[in-house]
Homo-oligomer: A and B are copies of this chain.
């Protein structure tokens, strides 16, 4: 079956840039291409948007096909449309970024035959298409956004310690934070629920666990509260 249009149309794809926290490292999921162009190169997962499919649904589908993840923080990043970004034809790509925790979910590396892997953001291979540019844009967005929206929690398991949370901020902002000041600041916001549980299986004093109180956060947002680290 073929479709006819009066004017040529750009192709429309979605790509996903999936950030995952693995112990003390921030990583990105990449897929090794098995076809030309850029055969053998690593690339962001993505694919065509079906004509009867929402953009976000397409991103979720790609994400689920590649990683098996279903519940995840997902947000539109930017739309990339440079004329030469794909050597085959004009392709405009709406890019979403996702934040996941690699310990909480058991994430399979890949669901199909393609080779998929997590790469530390400090040690990325050269990417196919304009995906290096997309990666830079995503990282910049992440750095900006984490300071004034509570997305740091999305990278952690539901229950986490304050040190883990601080570690997320230090990784993304690329600077050391003062432990006492960080704790005072984040606790003063009253958006964390202090649990009656402690860390397990660590070779030192076990830390208290907290969870993000999203309901409270929404209530406070509606009253003009503004998150800021």
Contact = CB atoms under 8 A, between A and B. Distances in A.
A9 interface: yes
B12 A3 contact: no
A55 B78 CA distance: 12
Interface residues of A, number: 29
Q: How many copies does the complex hold?
A: 2
The A contact surface, by secondary structure, is loop
Contacts of A11: 9
A198 to B, nearest CB: 38
Nearest to A78: B76
Contact of A12 (B2, B9, B50, B82): B9
A48 B10 CA distance: 10
A201 interface: no
A4 B6 contact: no
A7 B1 CA distance: 7
Interface of A: 1-12, 48-55, 76, 78-79, 81-83, 90, 92, 94
